[in-house]
Amino acid sequence: MALHSKLTPSPSPSAPGPVALPVIRTIGLAQPLQWLARGAQDTLRGGWLSLAHGAVLAAIGGLLMLLARDRFWLLAGAFSGFLVVAPVLATSLYAISRALERGEAVNPQLVLKTWTRWQHSRFVVRGGYWCLVRFGLLLALAGTGWVLTSAALITLMAPQPINTPADFLRHVVLAPQHYVFELWLTMGGLMAAPIFASSVIAMPLLLDRRVDVLQAVLASWQAVLTNPVPLALWAALIMGLTLLGLGTLLVGLIFVLPLLGHASWHAYRDLVDASALPERHPPEGVV
């Protein structure tokens, strides 16, 4: 008996337990269309404050185009990073939808509180200040990886050097008897899929509940694995609407980005039952 007690290690009180994940719901195929409808309602109810998010992000996109209009790889990298970190940039749109859902006031103070509340939880071990920063960095690294991979593929396989957007259109998109564009799109889809799976509900969950990045990403993956077909439709809708916004010389993004941001909140609410996880509240008196 004494020998057994020596050989059996006692459990360490500091050993980490299993990662707590919220309950993931199963949804219908047409649910993403309802998210868009609710997102449109929230955009109208949010008024100028919602549209201001779209206007600011569209203006950033316009500035990127102005600075890198003749430098294809700089432009591609800037827009890839811009689109990949969009779920983080839309954080205050999620907060607006949550406030509308709760019947709370929607005003500039809500947006300010959303972006400043994180610094008041920086000493919390799980779900603290650096969650937003960490998640944004992860997405930025993923976008950088895509740009580097894309550059390597096109540099090796394109029939002519690609230096400007016109070169890309002429020698990749419209090139006869070359399949570089198709291969490029296929590779882009394969790389975009895990980014989408990691972020589809992660940022609204980080905003709403006191969880860390690992919990949020695992919950996001679980939502995709539980509902692969509806969320594939959701990914296609996001891509189609984003391309529509880009194709209107970025003007459409003023409306598309708030629509998708608000709809993403409703996607989170339908997909996740997070009632067992603690809510994220700013300390009293935080603006």
Ramachandran region, residue 131 (left: φ > 0; alpha: ψ -120 to 50; beta: rest): alpha
Global confidence as pTM = 0.84
Are 272 and 25 within 8 A, CB to CB?
Answer: yes
Q: Is the dihedral of CA 202, 79, 58, 60 positive or negative?
A: positive
Confidence class for position 283, pLDDT limits 50, 70, 90: very low
Beta bridge partners of 209: 279
Q: What is the mean predicted confidence (pLDDT) over 155-159?
A: 84
CA distance 236 to 242: 10
Beta bridge partners of 279: 209
Whose structure tokens read 């993956």?
221
Beta bridge partners of 244: none
Task: Please report which helix (H) or strand (E) contains residue 90, including its range.
Answer: none
3-state secondary structure at position 26:
coil
- Check whether 203 has a pLDDT greater than 80: yes
Are 232 and 24 within 8 A, CB to CB?
Answer: no
Q: Which of 206, 39, 62, 181 is nearest to 121 (CA)?
A: 206
- Check whether 129 has a pLDDT greater than 60: no
Tell me: the pLDDT tens digits for 71-104? 777 777 777 777 777 788 899 999 999 999 999 9
If one counts every other C-beta atom within 10 angstroms of the C-beta of residue 185, the result is 11
- Check whether 15 has a pLDDT greater than 80: no
Q: How far is the first Cα of the chain from the last one, in angstroms, to the nearest whole number? A: 61
6-15, 119-128, 270-279: least confident range: 6-15
Q: What is the mean predicted confidence (pLDDT) over 244-269?
A: 94
Tell me: the pLDDT tens digits for 45-75? 999 999 999 999 899 888 888 877 777 777 7
Instruction: Kindly give, in sequence order, each residue whose CB lies less than 8 Å from that of residue 116, ignoring residues fewer than 6 positions away.
Output: 282, 286, 287
The pLDDT assigned to 17 comes to 53
Alpha helices in 69-200 (DSSP H): 72-84, 86-89, 91-102, 108-116, 130-157, 165-168, 180-199
Q: What is the mean predicted confidence (pLDDT) over 191-202?
A: 91
The pLDDT assigned to 188 comes to 83
With 0-12 / 13-18 / 19 or more C-beta atoms within 10 angstroms meaning exposed / middle / buried, residue 153 is middle
The pLDDT assigned to 216 comes to 92
Spans of all domains in the chain:
28-271
- Check whether 3 has a pLDDT greater than 60: no
The pLDDT assigned to 13 comes to 40
Q: What is the mean predicted confidence (pLDDT) over 164-184?
A: 83
Are 234 and 27 within 8 A, CB to CB?
Answer: no
Question: In Å, what is the CA distance from 145 to each residue of 77, 141, 220?
Answer: 10, 6, 21
The pLDDT assigned to 97 comes to 97
The pLDDT assigned to 12 comes to 40
Residue type, 221: W
How does the average pLDDT of the chain come out, rounded? Answer: 83
23-27, 52-56, 151-155, 283-287: least confident range: 283-287
The pLDDT assigned to 18 comes to 63
Measured in residues, the chain has a length of 287
